[in-house]
Amino acid sequence: MALRTVTRKLGNKFFPLLSSTSHLHSHATSFGFKEVKEEEKAEMVGNVFSNVASNYDLMNDLMSAGLHRLWKDRLVSKLNPFPGMKHLDVAGGTGDVAFRILESINRVKQRGIKRDFEDILEAETKIYVCDINPNMLNVGKQRALQKGFMEDGSLVWVEGNAESLSFQNDTMDGYTIAFGIRNVTHIEKVLSEAHRVLKRGGRFLCLELSHVGIPIFKELYDLYSFSVIPSMGEMVAGDRESYQYLVESIRRFPTQEKFASMIADAGFQKVEYENLVGGVVAIHSGVKI
Amino acid sequence: MGRISKEVMGGAGKSLWEVLVCPLSKNPLRYCDETKTLISDAIAVSFPIKNGIPCLVPQDGKILQEEQDANDANSSAMNQGRSS
C-alpha cells in the first residue's frame, strides 16, 4: 500500500533537534485503524492532505451534504469575532473558517456597533491561518485573493505544526481548529500549545467529527461511513485510501467526554461541548483564565 | 502608506515577524534580508519563506552551524597539511 511505504524524512535522522516532537518517545500511534510509528504519522497524514487538497471542499460538501458549512458557521458564531481581534485558526489551510471570521467581523462593522477606539482596533484585526500542509495553504491563499480578502492585510498564512506553534505566549484572543485535531500525533501537545498562545480570557474552540450515540442512527451512520464515503472518495477524488483513513480516524478519536477532560487537563476552564447532528460532529470549547 | 508595503509583502508586512517566534525555542525570529529567511538566533536555525508564507514547521528548519562546521573542517585540513 502506498501509504505504508512512506519513509521517514532524512532530516529527522540528521537533526534530532528539529523533530523534537517525535523522538522523545517512539511508541505506536494510530493512522486510522492501523498502528504506525509516531514519527511516521505526520508524514502519512501529510500525504493524505496533499492528495485531497484540490478536491477538499467539494468532497466536504458531498460527504456532509453541505452541512459542514453550517457546522463552521456555528463554530464562528460561538467565537463571537470582534474588530481588532487576534485570532489563530489551526489546520484551516483552505481558509474556510478564517473567511467566515472575517465576514463576521465585517458584518459587525456594517451594523455600526461602535466600540471604543474602533479605528485603532480595526487596523489591527489579524487572523493567522496555520496549517502544516503547504498545498492546503496555497489553495486557501488563492481563494482569499479571488474573494478579495487579501487587500487589508488582516489574513496571515503560516506553515506550522499545531504541536509546536510559532506564535508568542498570550497573544491570541481566539483559537479555532476545525476537523484538524483528529489528525495530529499528540493531542495533548496541541491543547497545551493552544493554551500557551491564548491570552487570559481567550477562547479555545474545536470542531471535530465525533461519536454518535443514538442506536439506530449510529448503525446508519456506520453504514454510510464505511460503505459510501470510501467509494465516494474513489469516484470523485480518485483516492479511496485517504477517505478510508478519514472514517477510521473518526472512530479512533476520543469520545466527547474524554476529549473534554483532555481539554481541562491542558488548563482550560469552563470546558463544554455541543453535539451537532446527534454527535456526528461536536464543538468543544474552553477558556484560558 | 503602510498598506502599500503590506501588499508588496504579500499581505504579511514587516510586523508579522514580530509576532512569530521560533517553533522550537519560542524565542524571537529575525528576518534576514540577504537570504530571505527567518533566523532563530537562539538555536542557530533558519526557516524558509516560500510563496510569501513563512515555513515554521520544525522539520523545515536548517541548522546554520553546518556552514560553520564545513569552514572549520577545511581550515583544520589545511593546518594538518602544513604540519606534515
Mean pLDDT by 10 residues, chain A (289 residues): 34 37 54 76 76 76 91 97 95 94 88 57 80 93 91 90 96 96 95 98 97 94 93 88 90 96 98 96 97
Q: Which element (helix H / strand E) includes B75?
A: helix B65-83
**A50: contact with B, CB 8 A cutoff:** no
The reported pLDDT for the residue numbered A117 is 52
Residues of B in contact with A171 (CB under 8 A): 19
Contact A21, A163 (CB under 8 A): yes
Q: Is A161 annotated as a binding residue?
A: yes
The reported pLDDT for the residue numbered A3 is 35
Q: Which amino acid is at A129?
A: V
Nearest residue of A to residue B57 by CA position?
A160
What does the pLDDT look like over B31-46, one tens digit per residue? 998 999 999 999 999 9
Q: Under an 8 A CB cutoff, do B23 and A21 touch?
A: no
Q: Under an 8 A CB cutoff, do A166 and B20 touch?
A: yes
- The grid coordinates of residue B31 equal 528576518
Distances (CA, A) of B83 to A129, A230, A276: 57, 69, 77
The reported pLDDT for the residue numbered A49 is 73
Q: Is A94 annotated as a binding residue?
A: yes
Helix ranges restricted to H, chain A: 10-14, 20-23, 38-52, 56-64, 67-79, 96-110, 118-123, 134-147, 187-197, 215-223, 229-232, 240-252, 256-265
- The grid coordinates of residue A168 equal 508568542
Q: Is A162 annotated as a binding residue?
A: yes
Provide long-range contacts, Cβ within 8 A and 24+ apart, for A230-239: A232/A59, A232/A62, A232/A63, A233/A52, A233/A59, A236/A55, A236/A58, A236/A59, A236/A62, A237/A51, A237/A52, A237/A55, A237/A58, A237/A59, A239/A51, A239/A52
The reported pLDDT for the residue numbered B9 is 42
Q: Under an 8 A CB cutoff, do B56 and A20 touch?
A: no
The reported pLDDT for the residue numbered B48 is 96
Give the global pTM: 0.81
Q: What stretches in chain B show pLDDT beneath 70? A: 1-18, 65-84
Gap between the Cα atoms of B84 and B71, Å rounded: 21
The reported pLDDT for the residue numbered A116 is 54
The reported pLDDT for the residue numbered A118 is 54
The ipTM estimated for the assembled molecules is 0.79
The reported pLDDT for the residue numbered A24 is 41
